[in-house]
Structure 1
Amino acid sequence: MIVKMKFVNISGPQNDIDRVMDLYLSRYEIQLESALSELKTVDNLRPFVETNPYKDALLKATQFVGYLSDPEDIVPDNSMGLNEIFELIRTTNDEYLKVQAKQDTLKKKREEKEAKQRVIEPFRPLNGDLGAVMNYKYIAYRFGKLPAEQYQKLEKYLLHDLEAIFVKGEQDDNFVYGAYFAAPAKIQKADAVFRSLHFERIEIPPDYQGTPDEACRKLTQEIFEIQKEMTDLDRQTEEMLVKEAPKLVAAKKRLEELAHNFDVRKVAAKVKDKKEDYYILCGWMAEDDVEKFMAEAQNDDKVFVVVEDDHDSYFGEPPTKLDNPKLFKPFEMFVGMYGLPAHNELDPTIFVGITYSFIFGVMFGDVGQGLLLVIAGALIYHFKKAPLAGIIATAGIFSTIFGFMFGSIFGFEDLIEPLWLRPIDHMTTLPFVGKLNTVFIVSIAFGMGLIVVAMVLHIINAMKEHDTQSAWFDANGVAGLVFYASVIVVVALFMSGHKTPAGIVLFVMFGVPLILILFKTPLTNKIKKKAEKMEESKAMFLVEGFFELFETLLSYFSNTLSFVRIGAFAVSHAAMMEVVLMLAGVEDGNTNWVIIVFGNLFVCLMEGLVVGIQVLRLEYYEMFSRFYKGSGRVFQPYSKKKN
């Protein structure tokens, strides 16, 4: 069902807008529209130009709450006023910044130590004291690395004639680290040779003590101590935030509300009066909410509420808010996928809920598998609130019912007697047709009934929209309904062996509605007393009308036959389960229960998915296309209701 909407204007002193939002409108769902664009008849409207005073505090509160583990499980302390909230955020931020300053200092110190460690680490195999090496007077040295393939050349061809000593450090896949030593007089020659080998020098700072290995171990210990200090600071921060956790969570929630309410100025407008400025808010509210809101605010001399009745002329189409019984609530998803109904259109949710579940049950009739769908769907819907799970659970109920009607439990058809028939083998003889599966015949008859119901809904919608042509002369209007109902009656009389009406009666039943459909446009113009000139010639009008009429007749026929799939899937389900039982060896008396279980799960999942899609196709193409437009826009409240 569609909730009736009212367009309301709310105004009052400019400095009172936050109180109104917090005290009243936060407890109701209202879709706010831009007052500047909607209220074109009001003079001197100006936008609000103000900075949100809660934004910075909210960012800090969000940051602090984000550091807490499982903040949603913390019970908020709602005893604070606004000044206390700001003071809490300020003091918490001051303490946090002090700790962060210490953390930054330690982090920088750690990075320096790590950089020094990375420099000296490749030279750990060298045993010399770095302090002594750095102070050599009669020996020159160079630390660095060279490509691994160049080191092989050095070792094989040059090292013996170089008059220098190369001490190897660590080696990886690409480079060999080390240092070479030479007399000061020979160092230039050594430098030239090593440059030709692509040796890259690495400068070693003079503040290392001991061997490279000792220096590395000392730096590792210093880094560990620094990291320990940083961990202690993290623990202090955590303890500080945990201590204030209930207040921080409450502050974040309250600041979110206040910041959100303050942002209402983006869609509000202000108008200058002789004494003071006033704000104006406008938007859509449910009729019941409007009455409650006006009753609450009637004694508030700072709030003025005006309900606009002629919204169609000035404020456009109201948004659509659906409010259906809990059982049919999940089916609003299917309606939304096609398009929400306009405010003057019928809500098809209950129609979809009943027809979808019923058809699904016929096509997937099995007591055991139906109960599986009910249990799985109900559990998922209870915990996850997924609409599709609710639909599956409801459809599973009808699957269970038709399982009893067909006498099928997990594919076994010899455990219970069917309350109606077994789809796979029950036949009916029809005149001039012969034997047909009974489920096929019932499916077509059921489809005819649904098409008639869809036509009736189309007529109701057209009447509500005051659309004369669509209501009376459309293929789904009164003319189409009379024609299609006449076909059903004649076919039913013929198939049951009764006499059909005389030729004149048949012409009235079939011919007159088709003529009305053919000349729907000129007839509508005549009724509305419009003198519209035909754009094409009369002959062209008749030709086009003939082909459109022929297409309409084909659509009646194809749409009716489309419902055969209901019976086809009922039969195919029974056939698939017969295959599963045959593979499991039930007929031979050696039942393989593993195949039974997995076969049922496979059929339940695969065929359940296919049947669900096919039923939705019937809903959209064979029924919705006849009566439903789905041109409404979704109702988007500015804020969720709060108590």
Structure 2
Amino acid sequence: MIVKMKFINISGPRNDIDRVTDLYLSRYEIQLESALSELKTVDNLRPFVEINPYRDVLAKADQFVGYLPNADDVTPATNLGLDDMFELVRKANEDYQTLQEKKEKLKKKIEELRTKQQVIAPFRPVDCDLHKVLNYRYITYRFGRIAVEFYHKMQKYLMDDLNAIFVEGERDESFVYGAYFVSPSEAQKVDAVFRSLHFERVELKDEFEGTPAYAYQSLEREIARVNLEIDDLDKQAGEMLADRAPQLIAARNRLEELSNNFDVRKLAARMEDNKEDYYILCGWMAEDDVEKFLKEVEEDDKVFVVVEDDHDAYFGEPPTKLENPKLFKPFEMFVQMYGLPAHNEMDPTVFIGITYSFIFGVMFGDVGQGLLLLIGGALIYHFKKAPLAGIIASAGIFSTIFGFLFGSIFGFEDVLPALWIRPIDHMTTLPFLGKLNTVFIVSVAFGMFLIIVAMILHIINAAKSKDIEAGWFEPNGVAGLVFYVAVVVTIILFMTGNPLPGGIVMAIMFGVPLIVMLFREPLTKTIQKRTDKMETGKAMFIVQGFFEMFETLLSYFSNTISFIRIGAFAVSHAAIMEVVLQLAGAESGNPNWIGVIFGNLFVCGFEGLIVGIQVLRLEYYEMFSRFYKGSGHAFDPYTKKNTKTSKK
């Protein structure tokens, strides 16, 4: 059902807005609206222009709580004042920043060590003491790299003529790294040759000890040591926050409340009257909550509440809040997927809950698999509160019931007696049509019943919204209902050997409703005493009406026949399970139970998914489209209902 909403205005002294929000509104569900735009009958309204003083400190508190590994298991501290909370967060931030500054310095040190490693890494194969080499007085050295193609040319044509030694280091696809050594007297000549070969020098600073390989490993050990220091700082930060965890969580929770309460100003308005400064808040609240709220503030002389009953006093339509029995609560998910009902529409949650579960049970009738769906869905819904799991559990109940009616348990149809029929082989003979599967006939008949119910619901919704044309003259209104019921009655009479007598009755029951639907627009104008002209000419109106009538008749037929899928899936489920049992060797009397188990699990999951989608399609296209618009918008309270006691 849809909870009835009331639009209320709350006002009082400007400096009292925080007390009212924290003391009263934080404990009720209220969807606040912008007072500046909603209160169109009030003059001299101004917005609040104030900066939220809790936002920054809340962000820090939220950040620190996020660092706690087990925040959900910590019991918040109590009796923490506002000044204490600010000081707690300030001190925690100060200590945390001190540790972070040390950590950043260590990170920069690691970057420097990594840079040195990158310089020395290509020369690791060179077996020499870098400190000694870099201090040679009688030998000139050059570290660097040379392109592979030039290195090969140098080795082949030049090295024998050069009074130099090239010691190779590492190489990659493009370059060979290494160093060449030459006497000072030959250095100028050799340098010129190497420059012609595009040799790129790499300057090494005299800051390494031992060989390049040893220097590289020394840097790696230093990096590891610095990382340990960083880990130790992280540990210190974690311990520091863990020691203050109860206080931080309590501060975060309270600051979040205060921040949300302060942000109410975004939707509030100020009004100055005779040098008095007032705030005004307005929004939607459930009727029951309004009564409780009014009783609570009746002795508070600083709070003034006005409940608006005149639609002209506010903009827009009331939001929609659904409140259904626990059994049907999960099916609100399907309603929300299609669209929430408007305030003057029926809530179809109970309708879809009953019809969806019933149709699913017919299409998936099996005692064993139904119990699996029931138990699995119920357990998941109990622990995870997933709406889909609750729907599966409800569907499982009806699957189990129809499993007994069809005499099927885990696909075996020779264990339980069928309390009604076996879908796969029970036939019924009808006049003009011959033998048909009984489940198909019952499915179409059930579909006719649901279409009639959907039409009745459409008429009720039209009456609620005071829509004369939709209620009386549309294909789903009274005219369409009379026509469709007449067709159904006629079919039943013919099929039961009782042809409908009298051409006059036929003409009245079929012809008059069609004529009414064809001329619904001028009939509505006549009833409403409207004088506006038709948008199209008379000839075009007749042509357009003819094609619309043809489409309506076709939709009646197609929507009705669409329900045959209920019986088709009931039969196909039995046939699929028969195949599963044949593959598992059940006919031989010695079945492969592993095959039976996995076959049932596959059918339960795969076919259950398909059946669930097909039932939802029937709900949306064959039923909802007839009576339901789903044009409402969700009730969105600025804070969830809080059951804590008043802070007095």
* Superposition TM-score, scaled by structure 1 size: 0.96
1:228 aligns with 2:262: no
1:145-224 mapped onto 2 (5 Å cutoff) = 145-224=145-224
The residue type equivalent to 1:105 in the other structure is K
The residue type equivalent to 2:625 in the other structure is S
How many residue pairs match? The answer is 643
Q: What CA RMSD, in Å, does the superposition of the two structures yield over aligned residues? A: 1.9
Structure 2 equivalent of residue 98 of structure 1: 98
Q: Are the aligned partners of 1:525 and 1:531 in contact in 2 as well (CA < 8 Å)? A: yes
Whole-angstrom CA distance in 1 between matches of 2:432 and 2:212:
104
* C-alpha displacement of 1:213: 4.0
- CA 125–476 in structure 1, closer or farther in 2 if over 3 Å, else same: closer
SS in 2 for 1:157: helix
Whole-angstrom CA distance in 1 between matches of 2:23 and 2:552:
57
Q: Are the aligned partners of 2:40 and 2:313 in contact in 1 as well (CA < 8 Å)? A: no
Q: Are the aligned partners of 1:342 and 1:631 in contact in 2 as well (CA < 8 Å)? A: yes
Whole-angstrom CA distance in 2 between matches of 1:4 and 1:312:
18
1:290-333 C-alpha deviation (Å, 9 max, x unpaired): 11122222222222211111136632211111111111111111
The residue type equivalent to 1:2 in the other structure is I
1:443 aligns with 2:438: no
Structure 1 equivalent of residue 133 of structure 2: 133
Whole-angstrom CA distance in 2 between matches of 1:226 and 1:632:
60
Whole-angstrom CA distance in 2 between matches of 1:539 and 1:149:
89
Whole-angstrom CA distance in 1 between matches of 2:596 and 2:418:
21
Structure 1 equivalent of residue 7 of structure 2: 7
Whole-angstrom CA distance in 2 between matches of 1:123 and 1:535:
89
1:154-206 C-alpha deviation (Å, 9 max, x unpaired): 33332222111222333445433222122222212211222233321111112
1:531-570 mapped onto 2 (5 Å cutoff) = 531-570=531-570
SS in 2 for 1:271: strand
Structure 1 equivalent of residue 315 of structure 2: 315
Whole-angstrom CA distance in 2 between matches of 1:216 and 1:493:
98
SS in 2 for 1:185: helix
The residue type equivalent to 2:474 in the other structure is D
Structure 1 equivalent of residue 350 of structure 2: 350
The residue type equivalent to 2:118 in the other structure is R
- CA 86–498 in structure 1, closer or farther in 2 if over 3 Å, else same: same
Whole-angstrom CA distance in 2 between matches of 1:133 and 1:243:
55
Q: Are the aligned partners of 1:320 and 1:341 in contact in 2 as well (CA < 8 Å)? A: yes
1:507-526 mapped onto 2 (5 Å cutoff) = 507-526=507-526
1:262-411 mapped onto 2 (5 Å cutoff) = 262-311=262-311, 314-411=314-411
Q: Are the aligned partners of 2:34 and 2:268 in contact in 1 as well (CA < 8 Å)? A: yes
Q: Percent identical across equivalent pairs?
A: 71
1:511-542 C-alpha deviation (Å, 9 max, x unpaired): 22222222222222222222233344434333
Q: Are the aligned partners of 1:362 and 1:402 in contact in 2 as well (CA < 8 Å)? A: yes
* C-alpha displacement of 1:289: 1.2
- CA 200–468 in structure 1, closer or farther in 2 if over 3 Å, else same: same
1:496-515 mapped onto 2 (5 Å cutoff) = 496-498=496-498, 500-515=500-515
1:51 aligns with 2:51: yes
Whole-angstrom CA distance in 1 between matches of 2:48 and 2:578:
72
* C-alpha displacement of 1:284: 0.9
SS in 2 for 1:428: strand
- CA 178–420 in structure 1, closer or farther in 2 if over 3 Å, else same: same
* C-alpha displacement of 1:127: 4.1
> Where has structure 1 moved over 6 Å in runs of 4 or more?
none
Whole-angstrom CA distance in 2 between matches of 1:451 and 1:444:
10
1:272-301 C-alpha deviation (Å, 9 max, x unpaired): 233332211111111111111222222222
* C-alpha displacement of 1:89: 0.6
Structure 2 equivalent of residue 431 of structure 1: 431
Name whichever of 622-631 and 579-588 sits farther off: 579-588
1:57-111 C-alpha deviation (Å, 9 max, x unpaired): 1121122122221222222113211111001011111111222222233333333
Q: Are the aligned partners of 1:410 and 1:600 in contact in 2 as well (CA < 8 Å)? A: yes
Structure 2 equivalent of residue 589 of structure 1: 589
Q: Are the aligned partners of 1:32 and 1:637 in contact in 2 as well (CA < 8 Å)? A: yes
Whole-angstrom CA distance in 2 between matches of 1:441 and 1:425:
13
SS in 1 for 2:31: strand
The residue type equivalent to 1:635 in the other structure is F
- CA 597–224 in structure 1, closer or farther in 2 if over 3 Å, else same: closer
SS in 2 for 1:341: coil
Whole-angstrom CA distance in 1 between matches of 2:515 and 2:218:
102
SS in 2 for 1:161: coil
Whole-angstrom CA distance in 2 between matches of 1:569 and 1:19:
61
* C-alpha displacement of 1:228: 3.0
The residue type equivalent to 1:20 in the other structure is V
Name whichever of 153-162 and 313-322 sits farther off: 153-162
1:475 aligns with 2:504: no
Structure 2 equivalent of residue 120 of structure 1: 120
- CA 548–101 in structure 1, closer or farther in 2 if over 3 Å, else same: closer
Structure 1 equivalent of residue 646 of structure 2: none
Whole-angstrom CA distance in 1 between matches of 2:597 and 2:175:
62
SS in 2 for 1:416: coil
* C-alpha displacement of 1:622: 1.2
Whole-angstrom CA distance in 1 between matches of 2:44 and 2:635:
29
Name whichever of 102-111 and 427-436 sits farther off: 102-111
Q: Are the aligned partners of 2:39 and 2:313 in contact in 1 as well (CA < 8 Å)? A: no
SS in 2 for 1:237: helix
* C-alpha displacement of 1:351: 0.3
* C-alpha displacement of 1:231: 2.6
Whole-angstrom CA distance in 2 between matches of 1:597 and 1:210:
69
Whole-angstrom CA distance in 1 between matches of 2:513 and 2:373:
45
Whole-angstrom CA distance in 1 between matches of 2:229 and 2:545:
88
- CA 439–156 in structure 1, closer or farther in 2 if over 3 Å, else same: same
Name whichever of 281-290 and 206-215 sits farther off: 206-215
- CA 148–529 in structure 1, closer or farther in 2 if over 3 Å, else same: same
The residue type equivalent to 2:138 in the other structure is Y
SS in 1 for 2:280: strand
The residue type equivalent to 2:497 in the other structure is G
* C-alpha displacement of 1:389: 1.5
Name whichever of 212-221 and 232-241 sits farther off: 212-221
- CA 589–125 in structure 1, closer or farther in 2 if over 3 Å, else same: same
Name whichever of 530-539 and 256-265 sits farther off: 530-539
1:606 aligns with 2:602: no
Unmatched runs of 5 consecutive residues or more in structure 1: none
Whole-angstrom CA distance in 2 between matches of 1:29 and 1:185:
92
Name whichever of 182-191 and 310-319 sits farther off: 310-319
Whole-angstrom CA distance in 2 between matches of 1:56 and 1:201:
53
The residue type equivalent to 2:639 in the other structure is S
SS in 2 for 1:432: coil
Q: Are the aligned partners of 1:143 and 1:202 in contact in 2 as well (CA < 8 Å)? A: yes
Q: Are the aligned partners of 2:41 and 2:313 in contact in 1 as well (CA < 8 Å)? A: no
SS in 1 for 2:588: coil
Structure 1 equivalent of residue 484 of structure 2: 484
Q: Are the aligned partners of 1:7 and 1:311 in contact in 2 as well (CA < 8 Å)? A: no
- CA 115–540 in structure 1, closer or farther in 2 if over 3 Å, else same: closer
SS in 1 for 2:346: coil
SS in 2 for 1:615: helix
- CA 532–217 in structure 1, closer or farther in 2 if over 3 Å, else same: closer
Whole-angstrom CA distance in 1 between matches of 2:89 and 2:387:
40
Whole-angstrom CA distance in 2 between matches of 1:490 and 1:174:
90
1:346-382 C-alpha deviation (Å, 9 max, x unpaired): 0111000000110111111111111111122222222
